[in-house]
Amino acid sequence: MGNFNIKLFWQIMMTVLLFSFSIPSYGQRIIQGKVTDEQGEALIGATVVIEGSTNGSITDLNGMYSLSVEDGSYTVRASYVGFKTQTKDVVIKSGNQTVNFTLLFGTDLSEIVVIGSRNQNRTAIETAVPVDIISMTNIVDNAPQIEVADILNYLAPSFSANKQTISDGTDHVDPASLRGLGVDHVLVLINGKRRHTSSLVNVNGTVGRGSVGTDLNAIPAAAIDRIEILRDGAAAQYGSDAIAGVINIVLKSDADKVYFSSTVGEQAEGDGDRTQFNVNYGFKVGEKGFLNMTGQYQYRGRTDRAGEWTGSVFKTNGSGIFAEDFAEDDFSPFDVGRRLTATEAAAINSANSVTNNLTESEEEALINQNGGRRAFTMKVGQSQAINTGLMLNSAYDLANEGQLYLFGGINFRRGLATGFYRLPNQSRTLTTVYPNGFLPEINTRIFDGSIAGGIRGKVGEWDVDFSNTFGKNSFNYVITNTHNASRGTSSPTSFDAGGFALSQNTTNLDFTRYFDDALNGVNIAFGAVYRIENYTVIAGEEGSYRNYGNVNTIDTLADGTAFSNEFNQTNIFYGRPGGSQVFPGFQPDNELSRSRGNLGLYWDTEFQFTNKFFVDVAARFEDYTDFGSTFNWKVASRYELTGSLAIRGAVSTGFRAPSLQQRYFNSTSTLFQIDPETGENVPNEVGTFSNDSKVANLFGIPSLTDEESFNVSAGLTATFLDAFNLTIDGYFIKIDDRVVLTNSFSAANSSEIAAILERANAGRATFFVNGIDTETSGVDIILSHETTIGSSKLNSSIAANFTQTEVTNVNIPANLSGAPDRFFNREERNRFEDALPQSKINLTFDYKLNKFISTLRFVRFGEVYARTGIDSDESTWIDQKFEPKIITDLNVGYNFTNDLKLTLGANNLFDVYPDENREEFRSSERFIYSRRVSQFGFNGAYYFGRLTLKF
């Protein structure tokens, strides 16, 4: 595999395919026509197929299609997302025939889907596994949500994503999941091609801790035609990560159209203001191609729902900030290497005396003189973000149904979040720099880019698709309004703290053919994929990570004398933390660049035994250069009991390869501790160690391997009373060897751990490990209805997801058996089992009357729990249940003309908040609402207006 020449393979395949697509066909009749909407506008990219075959076509830039057939009788079906499917019977005896379609607006389960089946003519309701289709056109025009993750959170009950707070990088990338499983158990595709993940691994105390997800918000919503959500295990079909399901984002292909929208909004509290501008423009490339482009600018303001800090601000405890009185010629505790004057020493001693002996009333008066308690608290809420992006989608038709295609985009995000307030009475605050303390800021610089291209068409009777996709995500930290306390007043107040990056290149070759003369039809698909990934960690500048006070020689005096701790007063610098406050930077020892490759081979055959019964069998082999190979399979089936009722189900195995981030992420800092025998400062590493590190090896942490899953699903689909569609699907998912991030181990945990840490010269250590097994079960229910009331249309739906996850086994390495609560404690179990809503119910009404369109949506977010404490000691348990809440969204739009529309609306119309934290979780009133578990956030009501222009 290491000698596989991708470039040569690409060149050979391009030559063969281009030659194949140039071969014309003879001796056949033509069915041709145009597909339009109710206003006569051409529907570009509509699907037109001959039912019961793979003979199909996609409408061109003018809405035209063409099908080659023999003489005979056919049923021709036209479908387009967001419109009702239409069929027409056609008899061909001699000559060609024109068949036009006018599709009516409305949801339809008869839409052709890209995922869930490799049969290119299979509709959503005909698949053996559940597939949701979300048309984005009306959502982008009308919905309060403007980011993709937020949109799905309110539309798809099985999907969950919320903004996090006080969680470092996770403040800037929303952890998103399906069916209550991990952030890394959902595979994201763009136009059917694998999307790269974020380079960020979530390491803070949020849902999704220890996992890596895909940044959905890097994709402009205005660039999307529709989103397909496959709610079933699909690793045997699509490879790693697809344990919970697959999200396929299909980009717009419109031509000769311009779309512009401007959105402004604000939270009811007066913060969290949002501004968004979208431009989408498509144009023809000659007579056979198109290029569709979307540009986006988006600003999201910060919100703050913190309470007022109730603890001490200026008053110090015990002996004060510094351990002793100072005298003339002592070294300064603020400026490394400088000696104090008598006046300066007296001032420090006086300040210590005052802060040590402040009464409560005196401190309160001092607090009020400096802005009140609100000035000394933190900001708890969503981060600020500025998103700018560009997305494109294009294709050019070749002869013999061939097509060249290209799509991709870039996104730049600048984020701003904060951490805990550094109070003036804390040793990590230099009051000579920040007299009243400071609120450090985490600025992120995130880049996300991708490009995919390929060629597809007919080679003989086979549909062939050859493509290459490259994607990259980089994540850098800039820490501002901070300092390195160990450096004294000479410390800068901003630092480049470094970051990380991930790149991924995927090459696919896919073959598909439908045999209509075998059984009632057999669809065969097979192919290969080769993927290369690279992960890098980038060090920050020295001041962002170095502890200047905890080294033997930290500076040089003016006369050239080495300045070290032995010349200074005890603990002046030694007690002050090094690195940039709130987020110490990555060290040069953390820097790395690691790569891996994997080759995948798959086979997928669908047997249509009768018109009412088919079985799909899929198998996949993958080989990874870092952990080895895996084989997975899937069997799915659907049986139509009547014309309006069918049952379906699937059984499969799956896998998820440990991400490079989980294998190689490391973030350590160096603390110097006095050796009691020699009296010398000895360096000790603390932090997260990579899976292949010496420390991990000493702890007996095994090399990460793949997670393995077993999935069973069963359900039914029904259509009744000519207006109702119903789907019910139950599922059971068992996952073994899930990768988790342990808590921090220290010498206090056990004598065995203390001995290992001493051998490793480490103080505290955290690792990624295949640590737990889980079982998840649940059910999805969707009921939709369409009706006409006079000249108006009403589409209604109720969709629900009920899910439950249980940690069934914890796999603790022998060396760590003495500290089970450090390996995987109650709080970690809580994140996997019930920190996400165990149910979500969505009731939606879409109403259209003449020039008015309105959507009313109620979303019930189920209960969540927060749990802490030691497993073996119930007296330490602190638990809280957060009750279910209903969030109401309402928007009303008016079309002044066919091209100009105004929409006004609200998210969380009635300003609903989650239950407040119990006292033990509030941290002296900093956290009124939980930052560890979340149902729907805690921003409150949001009101918006949107102007849309189309021409």
Other residues' Cβ atoms within 10 Å of the Cβ of residue 593: 11
Are 670 and 582 in the same domain?
A: yes
Beta-strand pair 495-515/186-190 = unpaired
State how many domains the chain has: 2
Q: What is the DSSP code string of 461-523?
A: TEEEEEEEEEEEEEEEEEEES---GGGBTT--S-EEEEEEEEEEEEEEEEEEEEETTSTT-EE
Per-residue exposure over 841-868, b if at least 16 CB sit within 10 Å of its own CB, e if not: bbbbebbbeeeebbbbbbbbbbebebbb
Q: What is the DSSP code string of 239-307?
A: -TTTTSEEEEEEEP---SEEEEEEEEEEETTS---EEEEEEEEEEEETTTEEEEEEEEEEEE-------
- In a 13 Å sphere around the CA of 583, the CA atoms on its Cβ side amount to 32
Burial (Cβ within 10 Å: 0-12, 13-18, ≥19) of residue 259: buried
User: How many whole angstroms separate alpha carbon 807 and alpha carbon 497?
Assistant: 36
CB 36 within 8 A of CB 67: no
Mean pLDDT of 592-603: 97
pLDDT band at 25 (very low <50, low <70, confident <90, very high): very low
Residue 501 φ/ψ, nearest 5 degrees: -150, 150
Tell me whether residue 75 is in a domain.
Answer: yes
Last residue of a domain, one of 59, 85, 105: 105
Are 784 and 648 in the same domain?
A: yes
What is residue 75's predicted lDDT score, i.e. its pLDDT?
A: 86
CA distances from 510 to 40, 336, 771 (A): 36, 65, 36
Are 503 and 577 in the same domain?
A: yes
Least trusted range by pLDDT, from 50-64, 226-240, 689-703, 709-723: 50-64
* 272: containing domain: 135-304+381-950
pLDDT in tens, 631-664: 999 999 999 999 889 999 999 999 999 999 999 9
Are 147 and 22 in the same domain?
A: no
Which amino acid is located at 482 in the chain? T
Last residue of a domain, one of 105, 123, 154: 105
CA distances from 727 to 113, 181, 373, 644, 714 (A): 16, 21, 54, 12, 11
Mean pLDDT of 183-193: 96
Are 82 and 174 in the same domain?
A: no
User: How many whole angstroms separate alpha carbon 367 and alpha carbon 359?
Assistant: 12
CA distances from 369 to 310, 317, 352, 363, 451 (A): 16, 21, 19, 10, 56
CB 623 within 8 A of CB 1: yes
Tell me whether residue 145 is in a domain.
Answer: yes
Are 158 and 248 in the same domain?
A: yes
pLDDT in tens, 47-71: 888 876 667 777 877 788 888 888 8
Q: Which two tokens stand for residue 129?
A: 């596994």
The three-point CA angle 196-200-205 to 5° equals: 135
pLDDT(6) > 60: no
User: How many whole angstroms separate alpha carbon 604 and alpha carbon 634?
Assistant: 9
What is residue 351's predicted lDDT score, i.e. its pLDDT?
A: 66
Are 446 and 387 in the same domain?
A: yes
pLDDT(360) > 60: yes
The three-point CA angle 150-836-843 to 5° equals: 55
Mean pLDDT of 226-242: 94
Mean pLDDT of 525-531: 97
**Residue entry with tokens 């997260």:** 688
Least trusted range by pLDDT, from 103-112, 235-244, 761-770, 802-811: 103-112
The better pLDDT of the pair 868, 489 is held by 868
Tell me whether residue 361 is in a domain.
Answer: no
Are 880 and 765 in the same domain?
A: yes
pLDDT(903) > 60: yes
Q: Which two tokens stand for residue 789?
A: 């009331």
Tell me whether residue 348 is in a domain.
Answer: no
What is residue 577's predicted lDDT score, i.e. its pLDDT?
A: 81
pLDDT(737) > 90: yes
User: How many whole angstroms separate alpha carbon 216 and alpha carbon 100?
Assistant: 37
Are 421 and 509 in the same domain?
A: yes
Q: Which of 261, 340, 350 is nearest to 297 (CA)?
A: 261
pLDDT in tens, 363-385: 888 889 888 999 999 999 999 99
Are 287 and 385 in the same domain?
A: yes
CATH number at residue 66: 2.60.40.1120
pLDDT(140) > 90: yes
Q: What is the CA radius of gyration of the chain?
A: 31
Q: Running DSSP on this structure, what letter comes out for residue 937?
A: -
CA distances from 320 to 311, 316, 482, 575 (A): 16, 5, 22, 13
Tell me whether residue 667 is in a domain.
Answer: yes
pLDDT band at 336 (very low <50, low <70, confident <90, very high): low
What is residue 335's predicted lDDT score, i.e. its pLDDT?
A: 64
Q: How many residues belong to the chain? A: 951
pTM, 2 dp: 0.86
Tell me whether residue 501 is in a domain.
Answer: yes
SS3 call for 351:
helix
Which residues are CB-contacts of 877 (< 8 A; sequence separation ≥ 6)? 826, 867, 868, 869, 870
Q: Which of 130, 39, 299, 182 is nearest to 654 (CA)?
A: 182
How high does pLDDT run on average in the chain?
A: 87
What is residue 274's predicted lDDT score, i.e. its pLDDT?
A: 97
Other residues' Cβ atoms within 10 Å of the Cβ of residue 395: 22
Are 547 and 620 in the same domain?
A: yes
Q: Distance of alpha carbon 127 from its chain centroid, rounded? A: 26
CB 578 within 8 A of CB 486: yes
Q: What is the DSSP code string of 766-813?
A: E-EEEEEEEEEEEEEEEEEEEEEETTEEEEEEEEEEEEEEEEEEE---
pLDDT band at 428 (very low <50, low <70, confident <90, very high): confident
SS3 call for 402:
coil
**Residue entry with tokens 């990768």:** 739
Q: Which of 48, 43, 72, 67 is nearest to 58 (CA)?
A: 48
Which residues are CB-contacts of 7 (< 8 A; sequence separation ≥ 6)? none
pLDDT(354) > 90: no
CATH number at residue 715: 2.40.170.20
pLDDT band at 82 (very low <50, low <70, confident <90, very high): low
pLDDT(106) > 70: no
Least trusted range by pLDDT, from 117-131, 360-374, 386-400, 412-426: 117-131
Which of 4-18, 486-500, 648-662, 818-832: highest mean pLDDT?
648-662
Tell me whether residue 372 is in a domain.
Answer: no
Q: Running DSSP on this structure, what letter comes out for residue 658?
A: P
Which residues are CB-contacts of 559 (< 8 A; sequence separation ≥ 6)? none
User: How many whole angstroms separate alpha carbon 162 and alpha carbon 177?
Assistant: 10
What is residue 220's predicted lDDT score, i.e. its pLDDT?
A: 96
User: How many whole angstroms separate alpha carbon 484 and alpha carbon 584?
Assistant: 9
CB 176 within 8 A of CB 152: yes
Other residues' Cβ atoms within 10 Å of the Cβ of residue 678: 8
SS3 call for 18:
helix
Mean pLDDT of 161-184: 93
Are 738 and 858 in the same domain?
A: yes
Mean pLDDT of 211-225: 96
pLDDT(472) > 90: yes
The better pLDDT of the pair 35, 112 is held by 35
pLDDT band at 23 (very low <50, low <70, confident <90, very high): very low
SS3 call for 151:
helix
β-bridge mates for residue 181, sequence order: none
What is residue 22's predicted lDDT score, i.e. its pLDDT?
A: 43
CB 29 within 8 A of CB 530: no
Which residues are CB-contacts of 867 (< 8 A; sequence separation ≥ 6)? 826, 827, 829, 830, 877, 878, 879, 880
The better pLDDT of the pair 867, 431 is held by 867
pLDDT band at 21 (very low <50, low <70, confident <90, very high): very low
Tell me whether residue 282 is in a domain.
Answer: yes
Report helix, strand and coil shares of the chain as percent, to nearest 5: 15, 45, 40
What is residue 330's predicted lDDT score, i.e. its pLDDT?
A: 72
